[in-house]
Amino acid sequence: MEAVLERIMAMPEHDVAATLVAARDGFAARHRDLDALIERNFKTIATRLDHLELLTAPITLDRRRLIGAYFTHEYAIEAAALGNPSIVAAPDQSGLDPGEIRFVMSLRAIGEGHISSIEFRSGVVTADAGVQLDAISPFAATADRRPRSYDKRFFTTKLDELEMLNEIVARVLARLEDRFTITELESAIDAVTDVGIEPSISRETTRVLHWLASSNYDTSFAASTDISERVLFPSGPTESHGMEDARFVRFVNDDGEVTYYATYTAFDGHQIMPQLLETADFIDFRVATLRGHAARNKGMAIFPRRIDGDYVALSRYDNLNNFVMRSSDIRVWRNATMIQGPERPWELMKLGNCGSPLETDVGWLVITHGVGPFRQYTLGAVLLDLDDPSQVIGHLNEPLLSPDDDERDGYMPNVVYSCGSMIHAEHLVLPYGYADVGARVATIRLDELLSRLTGV
């Protein structure tokens, strides 16, 4: 970075102007506000290289923006695959006709290098369960990270789970208040003397401290962006190789306050970890690391309300069976009860959930997925008891949805998969990805599905 920056700073001013004009001509139409984008990227570079004397001297606006342009590149977020949608009722329900509901849909987009990010779409489900998708913007926008403070108790507990509580950590934590910033953490690390400590241990410990802090962050989009432009792109070390399969839920607290949560799978190229997204408006997001023995593997999905004062979630923490978990803290999951194993022919390899449970008069409706012969994915459904969701009270005896002939070929052949559905107009509205090449929406009358589950 420093070498490139020095070369740009050495360019004659007339070359700077001409190069910037050419860059604008080639790229301005591909971005909503190119100057704002490259100015933002210059500030990012300036922050990281604020120790360089050449950045402390006055720099012309054109040279600032050219530096930003050299440190900007486009990324084809959907180049490899697209699918695995989830759907929730949108925060804004104004301006609709009677019986309509506006939705937000998330999608997993996979680009160059198999890096996954989270995209969004919006639309309306009509009074007769028709699905209308809003126009999609040709632009894309990533979010800005915002400074946040950290809870020392959370840090201590998570480091204990990682078996990283040692003398160095104790020295660092002793210098921090109950809540601290990343800057204060850096200062505490710098102030700790490693006398008598094996250097390799010191390096690994400080690496984990940085890793944990960087994996918990806040991020925001410009409110002026269209929701279809917003891309949650990997920003923390746990997700450096992908943010996979977000399962969004519209969570209603006991006081009526609505928060949108989503669990997703963070992948760093070697291991996976479930993470939690939190938002009220799909503009500002908080990203948090989950704790507890049961908070591991893929496929967590949070229930849309508390049950008997507890948060409740579905899990497949053993990578094979479906579990129900309960906790007083949405970020801590220690205990799980197995509710379903692979028994039917289409799910003998393994099974999992397809998003958060949906509340009906007769039970919690859970859409599931199963893996059968030739690694074909199909969708099923189970019904859980309303008061005790660890009890399965209904199970389909055949798949609910299988790949059609025109859905079998693609990046992931013979796969249909969903990360979340909704109920509207007496129908189950079920978005699903097929073969990782696209997404569709299926609907089925709710009473017909519940009748098949209950036998009534």
Residue 76 lies in a domain: no
Residue 360 lies in a domain: yes
Q: Write the DSSP assignment of 341-370 as a string of letters.
A: ---SGGGSSEEEE-SS-EEETTEEEEEEEE
Q: Are residues 238 and 279 in the same domain?
A: yes
Q: Are residues 60 and 183 in the same domain?
A: no
Yes or no: say if 422 and 440 are a contact pair by the CB < 8 Å rule. Answer: no
Residue 215 identity: S
Across 357-362, average pLDDT? 98
| pLDDT of res. 376 | 97
Read off the pLDDT of residues 43-99 as tens digits, 9 standing for 90 and up.
Answer: 888 877 777 776 666 789 999 999 999 999 999 999 999 999 999 999 999 999 999
Q: Are residues 221 and 139 in the same domain?
A: yes
Query: Tell me, what CATH number does 352's domain have?
Result: 2.115.10.20
Q: Is the dihedral of CA 387, 393, 395, 401 positive or negative?
A: negative
| pLDDT of res. 211 | 86
Whether the predicted model's global pTM rises above the 0.85 cut? yes
H helix runs in 71-198, sequence order: 152-161, 167-174, 182-191
| pLDDT of res. 41 | 92
Q: Confidence class of residue 205 from pLDDT cuts 50, 70 and 90?
A: confident
Q: Confidence class of residue 203 from pLDDT cuts 50, 70 and 90?
A: confident
Across 440-456, average pLDDT? 94
Residue 201 lies in a domain: yes
| pLDDT of res. 19 | 97
What is the bridge-based pairing of β-strands 311-315 and 301-302?
antiparallel
Separation in Å, CA 56 to CA 12, 46, 323: 19, 9, 56
| pLDDT of res. 193 | 62
Residue 75 lies in a domain: no
Query: Residue 414 pLDDT more than 90?
Result: yes
Q: Confidence class of residue 124 from pLDDT cuts 50, 70 and 90?
A: very high
Across 143-151, average pLDDT? 86
Yes or no: say if 416 and 407 are a contact pair by the CB < 8 Å rule. Answer: yes
Q: Which is more confidently placed, 197 or 39?
A: 39
Q: Confidence class of residue 196 from pLDDT cuts 50, 70 and 90?
A: low
Across 292-320, average pLDDT? 93
| pLDDT of res. 438 | 94
Query: Residue 399 pLDDT more than 70?
Result: yes
Residue 130 lies in a domain: yes
Across 263-292, average pLDDT? 94
Length of the chain: 456
User: Which of 22-26, 149-153, 190-194, 411-415 has the least mean pLDDT?
Assistant: 190-194
Q: Are residues 200 and 260 in the same domain?
A: no
Q: Are residues 125 and 179 in the same domain?
A: no
Residue 372 lies in a domain: yes
User: Which of 256-260, 319-323, 365-369, 444-448 has the least mean pLDDT?
Assistant: 319-323
Query: Residue 34 pLDDT more than 70?
Result: yes
Most confident segment among 144-158, 192-206, 371-385? 371-385
Across 24-37, average pLDDT? 95
Out of 169, 185, 214, a domain closes at: 214
Across 12-25, average pLDDT? 96
Question: CB neighbours of 197 closer than 8 A, spacing ≥ 6?
Answer: 167, 168
Q: Are residues 197 and 256 in the same domain?
A: no
Read off the pLDDT of residues 335-353 as tens digits, 9 standing for 90 and up.
Answer: 999 999 999 999 999 999 9
Q: Are residues 292 and 397 in the same domain?
A: yes
Question: CB neighbours of 300 closer than 8 A, spacing ≥ 6?
Answer: 247, 263, 274, 290, 313, 314, 315, 333
CA torsion 193→196→197→200, rounded to 10°? Answer: 100
How confident is the prediction for the chain on average, in pLDDT?
A: 93
Q: Write the DSSP assignment of 293-305 as a string of letters.
A: TTS-SS--EE-SS
- How many structural domains are present in the chain? 3
Yes or no: say if 414 and 435 are a contact pair by the CB < 8 Å rule. Answer: yes
Query: Residue 354 pLDDT more than 90?
Result: yes
Residue 59 lies in a domain: yes
Out of 175, 199, 214, a domain closes at: 214
Range of the domain at 61: 2-70
| pLDDT of res. 263 | 97
Q: Are residues 194 and 224 in the same domain?
A: no
Q: Confidence class of residue 432 from pLDDT cuts 50, 70 and 90?
A: very high
| pLDDT of res. 200 | 67
Q: How far apart are the C-alpha atoms of 359 and 423, rounded to whole Å?
A: 9
Residue 353 lies in a domain: yes
23 sits in which H/E element:
helix 13-27
Q: Are residues 57 and 17 in the same domain?
A: yes
Half-sphere exposure of 392 (CA within 13 A, CB side): 18
Out of 20, 41, 70, a domain closes at: 70
Q: Are residues 287 and 370 in the same domain?
A: yes
| pLDDT of res. 158 | 85
Query: Residue 180 pLDDT more than 90?
Result: yes
Half-sphere exposure of 399 (CA within 13 A, CB side): 20
- Enumerate the β-bridge partners of residue 110: 81, 116
Question: Token match 């009270």: residue?
Answer: 393
Read off the pLDDT of residues 149-168 as tens digits, 9 standing for 90 and up.
Answer: 898 988 898 888 888 888 88
Q: Are residues 160 and 222 in the same domain?
A: no
Q: Are residues 270 and 419 in the same domain?
A: yes
